[in-house]
Structure 1
Amino acid sequence: MPMKAALAAGALVVAGGLVFWLASAPGTLPAEALAGLEDGDAARGERVFWAGGCASCHAAEDAEGEARLRLGGGLRLETPFGDFVAPNISPHADGIGGWSDEAFANAMLRGVSPDGRHYYPSFPYTSYARMRPQDVVDLHAFMQTLPAVEGETDGHALGFPYAFRRGIGLWKRLNMHPGPVVALGDGDEAVARGRYLVEGPGHCGECHTPRDGFGGLDLANWLAGAAAAEGDGVVPNITPSEDGLAGWSAADIAYYLESGFTPSFDTVGGAMVAVQENMAELPAEDRQAIAAYLKAIPGRPDGHRPAP
């Protein structure tokens, strides 16, 4: 009898391990996902690049001017889960040189590396998953025109269980939501464009939305502000509530994204400096669309307040 019990327990362990392995497997794009797309257009891709904020993490800290296009990585993000290091994504062999459109799209839209491993969600693919494949291919075309930067970055420094990368597959099942976050009417083209930019390439929710204990976004409190990923600070509420942007007009928001000045003539600070500099590179209609969306979404109380 003890032998049968041991065999049964062993079979359960094996079966559980098999289920975990299958459920956590990296999922790549279907073969037809990129079929029928136009060849990547670098001019269109530059617009996607600034909307996506690639330079904020992958350029050197405090880079200015043309240096913002040298994407050698190295920025270290210290979080409760461990330290994440932004990789080299320049078109050098140490970065993404030689990647196909398919490999690049799988990284952006599925969070899967060319060698079939899960990326950690410090790379905001949960937002990029909402991007249109054509925009991703155009972005790839633009990034191939940037300076090739030699050198690999340090790896992430994570403890157990976060160093076990395969478990990210289960996390993705709970947190990959490629559809729109906010249901809005389809009549306003500017709001629709703003939703795409904010929820997709702009990945604003990655900082401005609170997270659960496993690092997943609390979408019920979308853009309501959050504890900062690093340190003891907070990221502000940017919903149109009294705790957020109720006192800002759409024109105020668009001007802030262009100039860095608030309605009270304060200036942008902290990590938002790099974001604002990226937004300033966009056409005015994109900044106006972002502003229109932020005024159209539901207002929420601050999401970084401790629960009563």
Structure 2
Amino acid sequence: MKRAAFVVLALGLLGGAAAWFITRPSPLPATVSQRLTGDAAAGERIFLAGGCASCHMGTQDGADPKVLRGGAAFDTQFGTFYAPNISPDPDHGIGGWSQADFLNAVMRGISPQGQHYYPAFPYTSYAKADPQDVADLYAYMMTLPADATPSRAHDLGFPFNIRRSVGVWKALYMNRDWVVTGDLTAEETQGRYLAEALAHCAECHTPRDMLGGMQTANWLQGAANPSGDGRIPPIAGEDFTWTAFDISAYLETGFTPSFDVAGGSMAKVIANLGQLDKAELDAIAAYILRADKQE
């Protein structure tokens, strides 16, 4: 009996140690940040493509999109997430972060304190970004106005309030592989980088499984709205019939081919993407049409 109890205890300890190892945060090698120098001017383009202001600008009417005080609520089946303050304020924002801290947050979903961020922060897409672009983004964001609004804690129940468990989720779903592959043209390749990595289109337009992982077999084919209010439309699949011109014009102006106007969170996305070069919007359009043909 004692031997059986000892075996059970030993197996439990081994299992716990294995779980602790699997769920550990895995930061970028220190050498990645050490070899980079950010360019704030170049970082503005990454800021627009990445849609940082769409989630992190203030929630009041007429909020300045460059004051990233956060506060927006995102209701999901797991609880309510609140966008944090990512302004350069040293106490309530990211003003005390190093460039390496920023790269680990954006590309690995790890806080400066070594904790996992929840994947409501789309680091699974940003993980595909060029580290130089992320360093440029850091340099640009440090030029923006600081704001001392405290971040609000997420409202999550058990077991989702255990951050360490996010390590299991990352092990299941986080990788840097491109979803749309094959013999892409230069324009489609540029569009893939913009859409899959920076603009993270799939984070909203791709359905998710019961654990919140994207179902890549149904890439960009529409998804349930996490808040439970309606659906996010497809931008691939048999129900999507827009042309490249339609897509590019929509991203630039917010007008659909039927002259409807983008609303809700998409209006904020277009407010950012619409400031990119027309060639970049055309590249996103080319990528989306290529994704529509992906088998």
Q: What is the TM-score normalised by the length of structure 2?
A: 0.96
In the TM superposition, what is the alpha-carbon distance from 1:99 to its structure 2 partner? 1.1
| Distance of aligned partners of 1:64 and 1:296 in 2 relative to their CA distance in 1, 3 Å threshold | farther
Question: Which of 140, 155, 158 is residue 157 of structure 1 equivalent to?
Answer: 155
Say yes or no: does 1:13 pair with 2:12. yes
Counterparts of 2:188 and 2:293 in 1: how far apart (Å)?
16
Provide Cα deviations, 1:196-240, integer angstroms capped at 9, x if missing partner: 01100101111000001000000111101000111231011101x
**1:154-303 alignment, distance < 5 Å:** 154-186=152-184, 188-239=185-236, 241-244=237-240, 246=241, 248-299=242-293
Residue 106 of structure 2 is matched in structure 1 by: 108
Q: Where do 5+ consecutive residues of structure 1 fail to align?
A: 301-308
In the TM superposition, what is the alpha-carbon distance from 1:181 to its structure 2 partner? 1.1
User: Which amino acid is 1:112 matched to?
Assistant: I
Percent of pairs identical after alignment?
A: 50
Q: What secondary structure does 1:69 align onto?
A: coil
Counterparts of 1:68 and 1:274 in 2: how far apart (Å)?
9
User: Which amino acid is 1:204 matched to?
Assistant: C
In the TM superposition, what is the alpha-carbon distance from 1:35 to its structure 2 partner? 4.3
**1:89-168 alignment, distance < 5 Å:** 89-93=86-90, 94-168=92-166
Provide Cα deviations, 1:114-141, integer angstroms capped at 9, x if missing partner: 0100000000000000000000000000
Residue 85 of structure 2 is matched in structure 1 by: 88
**1:48-59 alignment, distance < 5 Å:** 48-59=46-57
Residue 306 of structure 1 is matched in structure 2 by: none
Counterparts of 2:288 and 2:60 in 1: how far apart (Å)?
28
| Distance of aligned partners of 1:53 and 1:259 in 2 relative to their CA distance in 1, 3 Å threshold | same
Residue 22 of structure 1 is matched in structure 2 by: 21
In the TM superposition, what is the alpha-carbon distance from 1:32 to its structure 2 partner? 2.6
CA RMSD of aligned residues (A): 1.5
Q: Where do 5+ consecutive residues of structure 2 fail to align?
A: none
In the TM superposition, what is the alpha-carbon distance from 1:260 to its structure 2 partner? 0.6
Q: Which piece of structure 1 moves more, 55-64 or 176-185?
A: 55-64
Say yes or no: does 1:78 pair with 2:75. yes
Counterparts of 2:293 and 2:78 in 1: how far apart (Å)?
30
Counterparts of 2:58 and 2:145 in 1: how far apart (Å)?
13
In the TM superposition, what is the alpha-carbon distance from 1:56 to its structure 2 partner? 0.8
| Distance of aligned partners of 1:98 and 1:180 in 2 relative to their CA distance in 1, 3 Å threshold | same
Counterparts of 1:252 and 1:85 in 2: how far apart (Å)?
33
Provide Cα deviations, 1:18-48, integer angstroms capped at 9, x if missing partner: 00001100000012323433x2111110000
Counterparts of 1:283 and 1:135 in 2: how far apart (Å)?
17
| Distance of aligned partners of 1:198 and 1:83 in 2 relative to their CA distance in 1, 3 Å threshold | same
In the TM superposition, what is the alpha-carbon distance from 1:62 to its structure 2 partner? 5.9
Provide Cα deviations, 1:140-192, integer angstroms capped at 9, x if missing partner: 00000100000212101111110111011111011112121110314x21111
